[in-house]
A and B are shown apart, each in its own frame.
Chain A
Amino acid sequence: MIRWNKYIYTGLLISSFIGVIVLLLFGISQAFSFLNTGADRSSMLHVALHKEQVYFPKLDWIDTINPGRPIEKQTQQDIEQDYLNAWYVRNVAYQSNKMDGIGDYYTKSSRKNIANTILSNKEKNIEIHGTTTNHNIALDFYSADGQLAILSDTNVKEYQRVYREDTFLAETRLQSNYQVLLLLEDGFWRVRHMVKKGNYDQDTSMPSNGLAKVIKDKIYIEDKEYTIKGINYYPQKTPWDMFGDNFDIDIIAKDFDIITEAGLNTIRIFVPYVVFGKAKVIPEKLQRLQEVLDKAEDKNLKVIVTLFDFYGDYSVLDWTLTHRHAEQIVTPLANHKAILSWDIKNEPNLDFNSRGKESVLAWLKEMIYQIRNFDPNHLITIGWSDMGSADLLQEDVDMVSFHYYLDIDEFAQKYKDVSAKISKPLVLQEFGLSSSRGLWSPFGASEKGQANYYEQFQKMIKEENINYLSWTLYDFEEVPTAVVGKLPWRKHKQKHFGFIDSKGNKKPAFEFIK
């Protein structure tokens, strides 16, 4: 017995000894590896900071003439970048009520001011979602040693939305002027003084060249009244991926022939936000869009270009990225004769629940303003998914578009109600019926039923002289999951909205396409 005890004691002693040694070694190695990390010299000087740009308000340099010293191109870029970052971290700080990143872009004495405000907002449970969309910078002073700069930032367009415990309180749009003193510290241009200098209310908008315009509730193109007789268009093989790798302008050209021969004058196409490169638009994609529009012009078709397809963020901090996206697409096409209208977004009202109505509407309103600045020549609309949303932002758009997939018999009455409320041109931007009868949809419409539907609809359209675009030219073989979800019966339905079936034969409805 004693011998056993002895063994146990010996065992315990040895294992605890080993354990202590292991812990000790582990501790030393941890301390050692800690001391070896973060000692990179470049990180000390902040020379090689990997920063992904996430803030793209429109920034113009008015001039860099100053009494101090001429500024170098590189420093000018550094100042611009750090100044924008200062705005960005401040916007983030007010949204999250945390001081993260403020220390990098505000000096010790100026960051106190932000800290005070954030402290007060935190106590009151207030969050402020804000962004700036425009900056116009003039360099007032740049010191001889290159360590101090003073900027005047005029006509800064600011948007702010206030929440208390996730409840929307208020929103403001302001245009302000600022004067800012920046110091170069630790490789950062930091804000030392910031003084808001009154509000700015001079706003010049570019004049339109009169390509397309709206007078009362009529659309005019080159001064001729225009009624939209159109169709939503995707190539048969590449639905929802029109500008992808299988882009083929010849197929599109043939489809355009089919559309014009059927007597239609307008198509609606979609520009997906992510595929086109978000804030940095891929030139190749833009080129393809241009080709499609050129082809449409050749074939005498007008195009409604729907932007921001599959976009769904709307957050205030994301605004400037979407503005740059729109700028890069809209600006080069501002004089394109094929375009009838920019459709800001397809069915944005479906995002009201998940993203907040006020967020979506504020984003749309600002986007309309932005696009009008980039292109005053074409019309602007929003493709609401139902008639109920049609009166939203009706003061801001040029024509009011809505989609209708409900009971055909109720359409006439509903249309009358809507047109009474709205004094701008109305566009029935999507309607149609899927001839989806089959295994997944035993009670769906047959091709005959689809033809009857269009016959009836066209009768109403002609009576009321309605602008319309039907959905859609082709039956599709594949429908991406992002469009209607994974459920096979929903996909199935979406595949059979066409006037032409997947084998290329015209369905009976084709007769009533117009």
Chain B
Amino acid sequence: MKIRREHITILLSGVLIYVVNIAFKSVLKKQEEISVIVSAHKKIVEAGNPIVLDFKVNKEIATELLLHTSYGSTTIQPDIAGETRFTIPRFIANKKGTVSYTLFYEKGNLYQGELQIRSNTKTKVCLESYIGPPSIIAGGIDYAMQVVVPTDSYDNPLPDSTNVTIGHQFLDIEKKKELRSKDMIAWQNIFSYNSSGRILLFSKVKETISKEFSIDVFPSLPENFQIQSKRKHSYADGNQITQFITSIIKDKHGNIISDGSLVKFVIKNTKGLLLHTQANTVNGQAIAKMLHPDHEDAWQVKAYIHGMAESNSIRIEYSKVLEDFDTQFKKGNRYVTVGPLVSFMGQLIPDGAMVILKIFKENKKIDTKVETSSNGIARFFLQEGFYASGKYDVTIKALGVEKQYNNIELE
């Protein structure tokens, strides 16, 4: 009996201890759970203002704060070790964007939250402008784009719907327009006018005015044009120079085309051969030059600006510079002297005029010899080794005049 009671007591006390233990454990477990409350702070802050996050944690633990921002992440320690008050560093508080923060301690994350940093509209506005392309073509089809990125003094883009004034000046036109920014920027296309010149641009946000920017408006494509020729005389002396001159070339809006536009002149002679010369325009005019032909000829001249414009076609004729010349056969007719070649005014033809001698034997061409004149004379020597003694026919051609000598006896 006695023993039994003791047993029951022991058993009961055992159960009691067990129950108390369980109760304690569950209470202890609850205490293990850490609750975190963030004390009231502004969810939206303007850049540059100090930000302090104060957490209330029901247990004393060492916490840190992980900050995730537009440009990267960092962790910060509480202002006073052991407390849970955090001051967001300047370089984060100055930058626009959402800041996600995570309060954590050695065993894991405790609290996640976020706050917005907005651009600070109270600071001085900075403007960045991007304008391109820097040159456009007159006529109102081509355009350049002006993009303005307004920022606050911490280099944060201002919020959407910021008022931006964009304006430009051209000749006596001055225009201004109010725009509202979107996606960080305000932008406008500036179309060219009919005249060429320079458009000056500016933009303005609040009190800040941008630098002056410019776009060059170049003349549009050239229209067809006229050419004329200019020469000292019309003789084919192979010496003087003929100039080909274009009219002042303009685009369809009457702008003189840009200096340096290449004009190509194509000359077709009576044989159908094509000669080329070219020149760049200066003040809309191109002047190309060509040496006179050395024989009677007629040229058909036309000029082109490739792929854009062409000129009318003109015809120029060159007349013979000499009517006749002398030929002397000496020393057994083997030395042939042609000349003196005399031009239309009695002067010797300048050195270098081409004289061609062709030798025939029994109507078959044996050889062509070419010499240039010197002091008005061209000399040929028909060597014995090449031309055996006998009768030959000889034709001589100089400056478009051809003479024939038959039955020349070479000794």
Q: Pick the contact of A120 from B91, B116, B132 — CB < 8 Å?
A: B91
| In the complex with contacts A179-B183, A197-B98, A147-B130 CB distance below 8 A | yes
In the complex, the answer to whether B184 meets A179 with C-beta atoms within 8 Å is: yes
Judge if B282 is at the interface, Cβ distance under 8 Å.
no
A96 to chain B, nearest CB (A): 13
Q: Which residues of A contact B75 (CB under 8 A)?
A: 124, 126, 162, 164, 169-170
Binds B, one of A138-146, A316-324, A434-442: A138-146
Q: Which residues of B contact A169 (CB under 8 A)?
A: 64, 66, 75, 104
Binds B, one of A108-116, A455-463, A487-495: A108-116
In the complex, the answer to whether B143 meets A113 with C-beta atoms within 8 Å is: no
User: Which of A171-200 touch B at CB < 8 Å?
Assistant: 172, 174, 176, 178-179, 181, 183, 192-199
> C-beta contact mask, B149-171 vs A, less than 8 Å → 1, else 0?
10100011100000000000000
Q: Which residues of A contact B143 (CB under 8 A)?
A: 144
Judge if A121 is at the interface, Cβ distance under 8 Å.
yes
Q: Which residues of B contact A183 (CB under 8 A)?
A: 130
> C-beta contact mask, A435-454 vs B, less than 8 Å → 1, else 0?
00000000000000000000
User: Which of B65-95 touch A at CB < 8 Å?
Assistant: 66, 68-75, 77, 89, 91-92, 95
Taking residues whose C-beta sits less than 8 angstroms from the other chain, chain B's interface range is 35 or more
Q: Pick the contact of B157 from A68, A121, A181 — CB < 8 Å?
A: A181
Judge if B187 is at the interface, Cβ distance under 8 Å.
yes
User: Which of A89-122 touch B at CB < 8 Å?
Assistant: 90, 94, 109-110, 113-114, 116-118, 120-121
- Cα distance A114–B91 in the bound complex, in angstroms: 10
In the complex, the answer to whether B133 meets A145 with C-beta atoms within 8 Å is: yes
CB nearest to A183 among chain B residues: B130
| In the complex with contacts A147-B130, A160-B68, A195-B145 CB distance below 8 A | no
Q: Which residues of B contact A253 (CB under 8 A)?
A: none
| In the complex with contacts A114-B72, A160-B68, A170-B66, A199-B130 CB distance below 8 A | no
| In the complex with contacts A144-B144, A169-B64, A194-B185 CB distance below 8 A | no
CB nearest to B151 among chain A residues: A193
> C-beta contact mask, A278-314 vs B, less than 8 Å → 1, else 0?
0000000000000000000000000000000000000
Judge if A509 is at the interface, Cβ distance under 8 Å.
no
Q: Majority SS of interface residues in chain B? A: strand
Taking residues whose C-beta sits less than 8 angstroms from the other chain, chain A's interface range is 35 or more
Q: Pick the contact of B102 from A118, A124, A172 — CB < 8 Å?
A: A172
Q: Pick the contact of B145 from A117, A124, A143, A196 — CB < 8 Å?
A: A143
User: Which of A123-137 touch B at CB < 8 Å?
Assistant: 124, 126, 128, 130
Judge if B96 is at the interface, Cβ distance under 8 Å.
yes
Q: Which residues of B contact A466 (CB under 8 A)?
A: none
Judge if A150 is at the interface, Cβ distance under 8 Å.
yes
- Cα distance A307–B62 in the bound complex, in angstroms: 40
- Cα distance A204–B151 in the bound complex, in angstroms: 36
What are 25 sample pairs from A and B whose C-beta atoms fall under 8 A apart? A94-B72, A110-B71, A113-B95, A114-B71, A117-B73, A117-B92, A120-B74, A120-B89, A121-B74, A126-B75, A143-B130, A143-B187, A144-B144, A144-B145, A144-B189, A169-B75, A170-B102, A172-B100, A172-B102, A193-B155, A193-B157, A195-B96, A195-B184, A197-B97, A199-B98
